[in-house]
Amino acid sequence: MFSLEILLLIISSLIIASLVIARLSNNLGVPILLLFLGVGMLAGSEGPGGIYFDDAQLSQSIGIICLIFILFSAGLDTKWKHVKPVLWPSVVLATFGVLVTTLLIGIFVHYVFSVDLKVSLLLGAVVSSTDAAAVFSIIGARNIKLRGRITPLLELESGSNDPMAVFLTFSLIEVVLTDELSVSKLLLHFVMEMGIGLLTGILFGKLMIWLINKIKFTIDGFYTVITLAFALLIYSFTSYLHGSGFLAVYIAGLVVNSYEIVHKKTIFRFFEGVAWLAQICMFLTLGLLVFPSQLVAGLQTELIIAIFLIFIARPVGVFLSLVFFKYSKREIIFISLVGLRGAVPIILATFPMLSGIKEANWIFNVVFFIVLTSAVIQGWPLPMLAKFLRLDSPSVAKINSPIEFSEYQNSNMKLINLSVPENRSEIANRSIVQIPHLKGSLIVTVLRNGKYFVPSGGTILEPGDKIQVLAENKNVDELVAFFGA
């Protein structure tokens, strides 16, 4: 047993090593989750680190807590006005698409490898959902911009399909253990679980907004603390009511993002850091849990199942889900091949282990290998795939600034970032006072050639300048449209 000092030393060293490696390898396009899993495997009992770890219960608990923060942060990053147009295709993809994937994997594994059908369906349920953290860590790290409605669809699908996978996994575990299957009972359970999750997510999200705006904390840090506590409360309370806690947490985050709250930027930035810390801890823990020698022993079977999932099961599920919606063939192909698997399937794979199912270790190893394969086959060539299918769009560099503006409740001002476009004579090469649209707004800073400066009314704006504008809310949309942002 490690002493507290040694345990803290190991944890902090692994986190720092993961971040440094992720930063150094960013230009190579290596999926970040693959790096975190790799660090965990290297530190494990069969790696140079030699840390023996086989506690599935602890791994599951760590994974669930981390997923709460990851999904809440994903909800905070999801803007309702962006995902509203793709609500129904996302819902179909997150439910029916997951079910199709489960059935195809189950039937394939049953007939090809002579695995009991109930067990093979359980495997299909465990690997049926895509992972929001996996998808958007790659899109964000590589600064990939996609045309059309693909990004909001992937955003909402990957954030909302975990509850369906959890429901199918728990249901099939019960079927394997009891050998009983009641379709009507399962349907009722599904409707109740999703309904309770949706309802509590909306109600607690609005309650959180009301409390944060109503309570006047004298210490600013309390706003992030109460939000953190709410995320845990929402999951635990919803699960206690036998609802989908993961769905509730995601919905609550989405609701919070739809309203103005005190210290909104601070809360969002805090949870961005918490979500990344959760991802690192989760992937490191799961990397420690696996034994690479067991993966190698079943390499051929694992590879065949992974290829079937990536190139047949997922595409068929996507096609059947989106066939009646207005998506082009190129968009459907891209969405099919972007269904990355991440930590969620690995965490779900620990439930059969703790339930005493004899094939549980085999399921865990297959799932872990699928996650690794998915990161390499689907994640690495993602930018090239988007370019090949002509679905990429020019990326816009993120504007960072030393100046921040904390919006308060009912604030009538907003700080926005704008770029000075080229070939726009009414903006470029004109002084600030000569641009009527900027009247009544304050140009806080200008970024030019990598350096910030505070402008005056006579400052000439040059093409490519990044300007930070403090404007009234009623003028924001007009300014954004005028600058073409």
Q: Which pLDDT value is given to residue 240?
A: 94
Name the pLDDT band for 474 (thresholds 50, 70, 90): confident
Lowest-pLDDT range of 139-153, 202-216, 396-410:
396-410
Q: Rounded to whole angstroms, how far apart are CA atoms 34 and 32?
A: 5
* Cβ contact 127:374 at 8 Å: no
CATH of domain 4-388: 1.20.1530.20
pLDDT band at 133 (very low <50, low <70, confident <90, very high): low
**What's the rounded mean pLDDT across residues 214-218?**
87
Round to whole Å and give the CA distance between 252 and 443: 35
Closest to 426 in 3D by CA, of 437, 413, 415, 441: 437
334 contacts 387 by C-beta, under 8 angstroms: no
Residue 412 binned pLDDT confidence (cut-offs 50, 70, 90)? confident
Model confidence pLDDT, tens digit, residues 55-70:
889 999 998 999 899 8
Looking at the predicted structure, is the pLDDT value of residue 279 above 90?
Answer: no
* HSE-up (13 A, CA, CB side) for residue 86: 23
pLDDT at 10: 85
- In angstroms, rounded to a whole number, what is the distance separating the alpha carbons of residues 463 and 457? 17
Q: Give, in degrees to the nearest 5, the angle at Cα 143 between 139 and 148.
A: 70
Whether 355 shows a pLDDT value over 80: the answer reads: yes
Arithmetic mean of pLDDT over the chain: 87
Could you list the beta-strand ranges (E) of 357-477.
413-419, 430-431, 442-448, 451-453, 460-461, 466-472
- 172-181 confidence digits (pLDDT tens): 999 999 877 7
Q: pTM above the 0.85 mark?
A: no
Question: Identity (one letter) of the amino acid at 14?
Answer: L
- Which of 134, 128, 204 shows the shortest CA–CA distance to 171? 128
For 95-104, 303-312, 402-411, 425-434, which range has the lowest pLDDT when averaged over its residues? 402-411
pLDDT confidence tier of residue 334, bands split at 50, 70 and 90: very high
Question: What is the spatial distance between Cα 153 and Cα 121, in angstroms, rounded to a whole number?
Answer: 26
Q: Rounded CA gap, 248 and 204, in Å? A: 9
Q: Is 50 left (phi over 0), alpha (psi -120 to 50) or beta?
A: left
Contacts of 14 (CB under 8 A, 6+ apart): 39, 40, 43, 284
Q: Per DSSP, what are the bridge partners of residue 133? A: none
Q: CA 349, CA 372: separation in Å to the nearest integer?
A: 14
Contact of 372 with 37, CB cutoff 8 Å: yes
Task: Look at residue 407 and tell me whether its pLDDT is greater than 80.
Answer: no
Enumerate the CATH 3.30.70.1450 domain ranges in the chain, comma separated. 413-483
Residue 296 binned pLDDT confidence (cut-offs 50, 70, 90): confident
Distance, CA of 218 to CA of 232 (rounded, Å): 23
Record the tokens describing residue 475, joined without a space.
Answer: 């003028």
Mean per-residue pLDDT, 474-478: 87
Q: What is the pLDDT of residues 18-61, one digit of tens each?
A: 888 777 666 555 667 778 888 889 888 888 888 888 888 999 99
Q: How distant, in Å, are the alpha carbons of 71, 258, 303 from that of 206? A: 17, 10, 46
* pLDDT over 70 at 402, yes or no: no
Listed in order, the ranges of the chain carrying CATH 1.20.1530.20 are: 4-388
Q: Write out the two tokens for 218.
A: 């004298």
Residue 382 has pLDDT above 90, yes or no: no
Protein fold of 413-483: Alpha-Beta Plaits (3.30.70)
Please state, for a pLDDT cut of 70, what percent of the chain lies above it: 91
Provide the pLDDT for residue 340.
84
pLDDT at 189 > cutoff 80: yes
Q: What is the mean pLDDT of residues 151-171?
A: 88
Question: What is the gyration radius of the CA atoms in the chain, in angstroms?
Answer: 24
Judge whether residue 141 has pLDDT over 70: no
The dihedral built from the CA positions of residue 47, 52, 57 and 58, taken in this order, carries a sign that is negative
pLDDT tier for residue 369 given thresholds of 50, 70 and 90? very high
pLDDT digits (tens, 9 = 90+) for 443-462: 889 988 888 898 988 899 99
